[in-house]
Amino acid sequence: MTSSEADAFAEFLERSRGLEGRRLTDSIPKEFFRPRVGRGLLGFAVSSALYVGAVVATAFVPHWSLLLPLWLVAGLGGWGLHCIAHDCGHGSFSRSRRLNVVIGSVALLPLLYPFHSWRHVHNMHHTHTNNIELDTDWRPLPVEVYERLSPFAKAVYAGIRTWAFWGGTIHYWLVSAFRPGFFPKVAARVEVQRSIAFTAPVGLLYLGGLWYFTGTSGLVIHFVMPFLFIHLWFSGTTLMHHSASDVPFLHSEHWTRNAARLLLTTDYVYPRLLLFLTHNISVHTAHHVAPAIPFYNLPQAQEALKRAHPGMVRERRLSAGSLWRILRDLHLHDERTGFYQDFEHRPVQPGR
Protein backbone atom coordinates (compact mmCIF):
# COMPACT_ATOMS: atom_id res chain seq x y z
CA MET A 1 0.00 0.00 0.00
CA THR A 2 1.45 3.34 -1.04
CA SER A 3 1.53 6.28 1.36
CA SER A 4 -1.20 8.11 -0.59
CA GLU A 5 -3.46 5.04 -0.46
CA ALA A 6 -2.79 4.59 3.26
CA ASP A 7 -3.51 8.26 3.92
CA ALA A 8 -6.72 8.19 1.86
CA PHE A 9 -7.97 5.07 3.63
CA ALA A 10 -7.08 6.44 7.06
CA GLU A 11 -8.90 9.67 6.25
CA PHE A 12 -11.96 7.73 5.13
CA LEU A 13 -12.01 5.65 8.33
CA GLU A 14 -11.70 8.80 10.43
CA ARG A 15 -14.65 10.40 8.65
CA SER A 16 -16.59 7.16 9.00
CA ARG A 17 -15.95 7.00 12.76
CA GLY A 18 -17.10 10.60 13.05
CA LEU A 19 -20.54 9.54 11.82
CA GLU A 20 -21.02 6.75 14.35
CA GLY A 21 -24.14 7.11 16.44
CA ARG A 22 -25.62 9.89 14.33
CA ARG A 23 -29.17 9.68 13.02
CA LEU A 24 -28.61 11.14 9.57
CA THR A 25 -32.29 11.52 8.71
CA ASP A 26 -32.70 13.98 11.60
CA SER A 27 -30.88 16.49 9.38
CA ILE A 28 -33.76 16.50 6.88
CA PRO A 29 -37.05 18.32 7.60
CA LYS A 30 -39.97 15.92 7.86
CA GLU A 31 -42.04 17.71 5.21
CA PHE A 32 -39.58 16.52 2.55
CA PHE A 33 -40.73 12.94 3.20
CA ARG A 34 -44.33 13.67 2.20
CA PRO A 35 -45.27 12.32 -1.27
CA ARG A 36 -47.49 14.24 -3.70
CA VAL A 37 -49.03 11.70 -6.05
CA GLY A 38 -49.94 14.33 -8.65
CA ARG A 39 -46.31 15.41 -8.94
CA GLY A 40 -45.20 11.81 -9.26
CA LEU A 41 -47.77 11.12 -11.96
CA LEU A 42 -46.55 14.16 -13.86
CA GLY A 43 -43.05 12.67 -13.90
CA PHE A 44 -44.48 9.34 -15.05
CA ALA A 45 -46.40 11.07 -17.85
CA VAL A 46 -43.37 13.06 -19.05
CA SER A 47 -41.14 10.00 -19.28
CA SER A 48 -43.89 7.88 -20.85
CA ALA A 49 -44.43 10.52 -23.53
CA LEU A 50 -40.70 10.77 -24.20
CA TYR A 51 -40.28 7.00 -24.54
CA VAL A 52 -43.45 6.29 -26.53
CA GLY A 53 -43.00 9.36 -28.73
CA ALA A 54 -39.42 8.43 -29.66
CA VAL A 55 -40.32 4.78 -30.32
CA VAL A 56 -43.28 5.74 -32.52
CA ALA A 57 -41.09 8.24 -34.37
CA THR A 58 -38.66 5.45 -35.31
CA ALA A 59 -41.40 4.08 -37.57
CA PHE A 60 -41.52 7.29 -39.63
CA VAL A 61 -37.90 8.36 -40.04
CA PRO A 62 -37.03 9.34 -43.63
CA HIS A 63 -33.45 8.12 -43.22
CA TRP A 64 -31.78 5.52 -41.02
CA SER A 65 -29.30 8.11 -39.71
CA LEU A 66 -32.11 9.62 -37.62
CA LEU A 67 -32.59 6.39 -35.69
CA LEU A 68 -29.61 6.93 -33.39
CA PRO A 69 -30.85 10.20 -31.82
CA LEU A 70 -34.33 8.72 -31.47
CA TRP A 71 -32.93 5.66 -29.70
CA LEU A 72 -31.01 7.95 -27.39
CA VAL A 73 -34.19 9.87 -26.55
CA ALA A 74 -36.18 6.65 -26.13
CA GLY A 75 -33.44 5.42 -23.81
CA LEU A 76 -33.71 8.62 -21.78
CA GLY A 77 -37.49 8.26 -21.58
CA GLY A 78 -37.20 4.64 -20.51
CA TRP A 79 -34.54 5.55 -17.96
CA GLY A 80 -36.86 8.24 -16.62
CA LEU A 81 -39.58 5.62 -16.26
CA HIS A 82 -37.13 3.47 -14.33
CA CYS A 83 -36.48 6.45 -12.04
CA ILE A 84 -40.23 6.68 -11.36
CA ALA A 85 -40.31 2.94 -10.62
CA HIS A 86 -37.35 3.60 -8.33
CA ASP A 87 -39.57 5.82 -6.16
CA CYS A 88 -42.32 3.20 -6.30
CA GLY A 89 -39.90 0.55 -5.08
CA HIS A 90 -38.94 2.66 -2.08
CA GLY A 91 -42.54 3.56 -1.26
CA SER A 92 -41.87 7.25 -1.88
CA PHE A 93 -44.17 7.58 -4.91
CA SER A 94 -47.29 7.33 -2.77
CA ARG A 95 -48.53 6.03 0.58
CA SER A 96 -50.51 3.38 -1.28
CA ARG A 97 -48.53 0.17 -1.71
CA ARG A 98 -50.95 -0.99 -4.41
CA LEU A 99 -50.49 2.19 -6.45
CA ASN A 100 -46.72 1.92 -6.07
CA VAL A 101 -46.81 -1.64 -7.42
CA VAL A 102 -49.09 -0.75 -10.35
CA ILE A 103 -47.10 2.32 -11.47
CA GLY A 104 -43.77 0.61 -10.85
CA SER A 105 -44.79 -2.48 -12.82
CA VAL A 106 -45.93 -0.41 -15.82
CA ALA A 107 -42.89 1.89 -15.66
CA LEU A 108 -40.50 -1.07 -15.88
CA LEU A 109 -42.16 -2.64 -18.93
CA PRO A 110 -39.70 -1.02 -21.43
CA LEU A 111 -36.98 -2.91 -19.56
CA LEU A 112 -39.10 -6.09 -19.23
CA TYR A 113 -38.08 -6.03 -15.58
CA PRO A 114 -40.63 -7.53 -13.15
CA PHE A 115 -41.14 -4.88 -10.49
CA HIS A 116 -40.51 -6.97 -7.39
CA SER A 117 -37.46 -8.63 -8.95
CA TRP A 118 -35.89 -5.22 -9.44
CA ARG A 119 -37.10 -3.93 -6.05
CA HIS A 120 -35.57 -6.74 -4.03
CA VAL A 121 -32.23 -6.64 -5.88
CA HIS A 122 -32.09 -2.87 -5.50
CA ASN A 123 -32.82 -3.07 -1.78
CA MET A 124 -29.83 -5.40 -1.42
CA HIS A 125 -27.71 -2.59 -2.86
CA HIS A 126 -29.13 -0.06 -0.40
CA THR A 127 -28.55 -2.40 2.52
CA HIS A 128 -24.92 -3.12 1.59
CA THR A 129 -23.71 -0.12 -0.47
CA ASN A 130 -20.02 -0.56 -1.39
CA ASN A 131 -19.61 -3.62 0.81
CA ILE A 132 -17.23 -5.76 -1.26
CA GLU A 133 -18.79 -8.94 0.10
CA LEU A 134 -22.48 -8.12 -0.20
CA ASP A 135 -23.28 -5.21 -2.55
CA THR A 136 -25.07 -6.18 -5.76
CA ASP A 137 -24.22 -3.08 -7.84
CA TRP A 138 -20.93 -2.72 -9.73
CA ARG A 139 -18.92 -4.65 -7.17
CA PRO A 140 -15.38 -4.97 -8.62
CA LEU A 141 -13.76 -8.39 -8.59
CA PRO A 142 -10.68 -8.84 -6.41
CA VAL A 143 -7.53 -9.27 -8.47
CA GLU A 144 -7.05 -12.88 -7.31
CA VAL A 145 -10.62 -13.85 -8.24
CA TYR A 146 -10.34 -12.26 -11.69
CA GLU A 147 -7.12 -14.15 -12.42
CA ARG A 148 -8.86 -17.47 -11.73
CA LEU A 149 -11.67 -16.84 -14.23
CA SER A 150 -11.90 -18.67 -17.53
CA PRO A 151 -10.81 -16.69 -20.62
CA PHE A 152 -14.47 -16.24 -21.60
CA ALA A 153 -15.51 -15.01 -18.15
CA LYS A 154 -12.55 -12.62 -18.13
CA ALA A 155 -13.60 -11.22 -21.50
CA VAL A 156 -17.19 -10.69 -20.31
CA TYR A 157 -16.08 -8.98 -17.11
CA ALA A 158 -13.51 -6.82 -18.89
CA GLY A 159 -16.09 -5.78 -21.48
CA ILE A 160 -18.65 -4.77 -18.86
CA ARG A 161 -16.04 -2.69 -17.03
CA THR A 162 -14.90 -0.93 -20.24
CA TRP A 163 -16.38 -0.66 -23.75
CA ALA A 164 -19.53 -2.72 -23.01
CA PHE A 165 -20.36 -1.02 -19.70
CA TRP A 166 -23.98 -0.76 -20.91
CA GLY A 167 -24.15 -4.52 -20.42
CA GLY A 168 -23.63 -4.26 -16.67
CA THR A 169 -27.28 -3.74 -15.82
CA ILE A 170 -28.32 -6.21 -18.51
CA HIS A 171 -26.26 -8.77 -16.60
CA TYR A 172 -28.20 -8.00 -13.39
CA TRP A 173 -31.44 -8.36 -15.35
CA LEU A 174 -30.40 -11.75 -16.74
CA VAL A 175 -29.38 -12.97 -13.29
CA SER A 176 -32.40 -11.82 -11.29
CA ALA A 177 -35.38 -10.70 -13.38
CA PHE A 178 -37.10 -14.02 -14.04
CA ARG A 179 -35.49 -16.20 -11.36
CA PRO A 180 -37.53 -16.31 -8.14
CA GLY A 181 -34.99 -18.78 -6.74
CA PHE A 182 -32.37 -16.01 -6.79
CA PHE A 183 -34.01 -14.54 -3.70
CA PRO A 184 -33.45 -16.31 -0.37
CA LYS A 185 -36.67 -15.26 1.41
CA VAL A 186 -39.92 -17.06 0.63
CA ALA A 187 -41.97 -13.85 0.80
CA ALA A 188 -39.68 -12.20 -1.76
CA ARG A 189 -39.95 -15.20 -4.09
CA VAL A 190 -43.75 -15.07 -3.94
CA GLU A 191 -43.75 -11.36 -4.80
CA VAL A 192 -41.31 -11.93 -7.65
CA GLN A 193 -43.54 -14.68 -9.05
CA ARG A 194 -46.49 -12.26 -9.02
CA SER A 195 -44.49 -9.64 -10.88
CA ILE A 196 -43.35 -12.19 -13.45
CA ALA A 197 -46.99 -13.23 -13.91
CA PHE A 198 -47.69 -9.66 -15.06
CA THR A 199 -44.53 -8.76 -16.96
CA ALA A 200 -44.02 -12.02 -18.88
CA PRO A 201 -47.42 -12.24 -20.65
CA VAL A 202 -47.59 -8.49 -21.31
CA GLY A 203 -44.05 -8.56 -22.69
CA LEU A 204 -44.71 -11.62 -24.85
CA LEU A 205 -47.92 -10.11 -26.20
CA TYR A 206 -46.19 -6.83 -27.08
CA LEU A 207 -43.08 -8.41 -28.58
CA GLY A 208 -45.10 -11.02 -30.45
CA GLY A 209 -47.38 -8.37 -31.91
CA LEU A 210 -44.45 -6.16 -32.81
CA TRP A 211 -42.73 -9.03 -34.60
CA TYR A 212 -45.93 -10.09 -36.37
CA PHE A 213 -46.66 -6.61 -37.75
CA THR A 214 -43.14 -5.26 -38.32
CA GLY A 215 -40.91 -8.35 -38.62
CA THR A 216 -37.51 -8.94 -37.09
CA SER A 217 -36.16 -5.57 -38.20
CA GLY A 218 -39.11 -3.81 -36.58
CA LEU A 219 -38.56 -5.74 -33.36
CA VAL A 220 -34.95 -4.58 -33.31
CA ILE A 221 -35.68 -0.96 -34.26
CA HIS A 222 -38.72 -0.41 -32.03
CA PHE A 223 -37.81 -2.47 -28.96
CA VAL A 224 -34.34 -4.01 -28.81
CA MET A 225 -32.38 -0.83 -29.56
CA PRO A 226 -34.45 1.36 -27.16
CA PHE A 227 -33.97 -1.40 -24.56
CA LEU A 228 -30.19 -1.24 -25.03
CA PHE A 229 -30.16 2.55 -24.86
CA ILE A 230 -32.13 2.50 -21.60
CA HIS A 231 -29.41 0.24 -20.23
CA LEU A 232 -26.81 2.69 -21.54
CA TRP A 233 -28.33 5.37 -19.27
CA PHE A 234 -28.98 2.82 -16.49
CA SER A 235 -25.45 1.42 -16.42
CA GLY A 236 -23.64 4.72 -16.91
CA THR A 237 -25.56 6.46 -14.14
CA THR A 238 -25.31 3.71 -11.52
CA LEU A 239 -21.64 3.03 -12.30
CA MET A 240 -20.76 6.68 -11.78
CA HIS A 241 -22.70 6.97 -8.52
CA HIS A 242 -20.55 4.48 -6.64
CA SER A 243 -17.26 4.22 -8.52
CA ALA A 244 -14.43 6.67 -7.94
CA SER A 245 -10.70 6.33 -7.40
CA ASP A 246 -11.04 7.69 -3.85
CA VAL A 247 -14.21 5.77 -2.89
CA PRO A 248 -13.30 2.32 -1.53
CA PHE A 249 -15.25 -0.91 -1.59
CA LEU A 250 -15.01 -2.09 2.01
CA HIS A 251 -14.84 -5.39 3.82
CA SER A 252 -17.45 -5.81 6.53
CA GLU A 253 -14.93 -5.08 9.29
CA HIS A 254 -14.59 -1.50 8.04
CA TRP A 255 -18.07 -1.01 6.58
CA THR A 256 -20.62 1.03 8.53
CA ARG A 257 -24.16 1.93 7.59
CA ASN A 258 -23.80 5.68 8.05
CA ALA A 259 -20.61 5.86 5.99
CA ALA A 260 -22.26 3.79 3.25
CA ARG A 261 -25.18 6.19 3.13
CA LEU A 262 -23.30 9.50 3.26
CA LEU A 263 -19.68 9.01 2.15
CA LEU A 264 -19.73 6.40 -0.62
CA THR A 265 -21.89 8.11 -3.25
CA THR A 266 -20.79 10.66 -5.86
CA ASP A 267 -23.45 13.10 -7.05
CA TYR A 268 -23.07 14.64 -10.49
CA VAL A 269 -24.45 18.11 -11.18
CA TYR A 270 -26.68 17.72 -14.25
CA PRO A 271 -27.91 20.42 -16.62
CA ARG A 272 -31.39 21.51 -15.53
CA LEU A 273 -33.31 19.79 -18.35
CA LEU A 274 -31.49 16.49 -17.85
CA LEU A 275 -32.09 16.72 -14.11
CA PHE A 276 -35.82 17.17 -14.79
CA LEU A 277 -36.04 14.30 -17.29
CA THR A 278 -34.15 11.92 -14.98
CA HIS A 279 -36.21 12.93 -11.95
CA ASN A 280 -33.27 14.09 -9.81
CA ILE A 281 -31.64 10.66 -9.88
CA SER A 282 -28.23 12.34 -9.72
CA VAL A 283 -29.08 13.85 -6.33
CA HIS A 284 -28.17 10.48 -4.94
CA THR A 285 -26.62 10.98 -1.51
CA ALA A 286 -29.85 12.32 -0.02
CA HIS A 287 -31.62 9.33 -1.57
CA HIS A 288 -29.22 6.88 0.10
CA VAL A 289 -29.59 8.63 3.44
CA ALA A 290 -33.39 8.67 3.19
CA PRO A 291 -34.88 6.49 0.40
CA ALA A 292 -38.39 7.48 1.49
CA ILE A 293 -37.94 11.02 0.12
CA PRO A 294 -39.80 11.57 -3.20
CA PHE A 295 -37.59 12.53 -6.13
CA TYR A 296 -38.90 16.11 -6.37
CA ASN A 297 -37.83 16.83 -2.77
CA LEU A 298 -34.30 15.46 -3.08
CA PRO A 299 -32.56 18.76 -3.94
CA GLN A 300 -33.90 20.43 -0.78
CA ALA A 301 -33.03 17.37 1.30
CA GLN A 302 -29.51 17.41 -0.15
CA GLU A 303 -29.03 21.04 0.86
CA ALA A 304 -30.16 20.19 4.38
CA LEU A 305 -27.62 17.36 4.51
CA LYS A 306 -24.83 19.63 3.30
CA ARG A 307 -25.61 22.16 6.02
CA ALA A 308 -25.71 19.49 8.73
CA HIS A 309 -22.62 17.59 7.53
CA PRO A 310 -20.30 20.08 5.80
CA GLY A 311 -17.79 18.54 3.43
CA MET A 312 -19.39 15.08 3.62
CA VAL A 313 -21.51 15.15 0.43
CA ARG A 314 -19.47 14.40 -2.71
CA GLU A 315 -20.53 16.49 -5.72
CA ARG A 316 -18.87 16.65 -9.13
CA ARG A 317 -19.83 18.43 -12.33
CA LEU A 318 -21.00 16.02 -15.03
CA SER A 319 -18.61 15.51 -17.94
CA ALA A 320 -17.80 12.82 -20.47
CA GLY A 321 -14.36 12.59 -18.87
CA SER A 322 -15.92 11.47 -15.58
CA LEU A 323 -17.22 8.24 -17.10
CA TRP A 324 -14.15 7.82 -19.30
CA ARG A 325 -11.79 7.82 -16.29
CA ILE A 326 -13.87 5.14 -14.59
CA LEU A 327 -13.87 2.92 -17.68
CA ARG A 328 -10.16 3.49 -18.29
CA ASP A 329 -8.88 2.84 -14.76
CA LEU A 330 -11.34 1.38 -12.24
CA HIS A 331 -11.42 -2.31 -12.99
CA LEU A 332 -10.36 -4.56 -10.11
CA HIS A 333 -10.53 -4.44 -6.34
CA ASP A 334 -7.23 -4.20 -4.45
CA GLU A 335 -7.84 -6.24 -1.30
CA ARG A 336 -4.98 -4.52 0.53
CA THR A 337 -6.24 -0.98 0.12
CA GLY A 338 -9.97 -1.16 -0.67
CA PHE A 339 -9.32 0.98 -3.75
CA TYR A 340 -8.93 0.03 -7.43
CA GLN A 341 -6.41 -1.47 -9.80
CA ASP A 342 -6.60 -1.45 -13.58
CA PHE A 343 -6.37 -4.58 -15.70
CA GLU A 344 -2.58 -4.24 -15.79
CA HIS A 345 -2.60 -4.59 -11.98
CA ARG A 346 -1.47 -1.01 -11.54
CA PRO A 347 -2.90 0.67 -8.42
CA VAL A 348 -5.11 3.67 -9.19
CA GLN A 349 -4.07 6.53 -6.95
CA PRO A 350 -7.00 7.93 -4.92
CA GLY A 351 -8.14 11.25 -6.33
CA ARG A 352 -6.72 10.56 -9.80
pLDDT tens digits for range 131-152: 999 999 999 999 999 999 999 9
Quote the CA–CA distance of 174 and 53 in Å, as a whole number.
27
Is pLDDT at 323 greater than 70 in this prediction?
A: yes
Q: What are the boundaries of each domain within the chain?
A: 3-341
Residue 351 in this model has a pLDDT that exceeds 70: no
List the alpha helices (DSSP H) in the chain.
Answer: 3-18, 37-57, 67-90, 97-107, 115-127, 143-147, 151-160, 167-176, 186-219, 225-242, 257-262, 272-277, 284-289, 298-308, 320-329
Mean pLDDT of the chain: 94
pLDDT value at 68 more than 70: yes
Averaged pLDDT for residues 104-117: 98
User: What is the pLDDT at residue 186?
Assistant: 95
pLDDT on residue 3: 65
Q: Tell me what pLDDT residue 288 has.
A: 97
Q: What is the pLDDT of residues 226-272, one digit of tens each?
A: 999 999 999 999 999 999 998 999 999 999 999 999 999 999 999 99
Q: With 90 as the cut, is the pLDDT of residue 196 above it?
A: yes
Query: Quick check: 76 pLDDT over 80?
Result: yes
User: Where residue 2 falls among pLDDT bands split at 50, 70, 90?
Assistant: low
- As a whole-number percent, the residues of the chain with pLDDT over 90 amount to 87
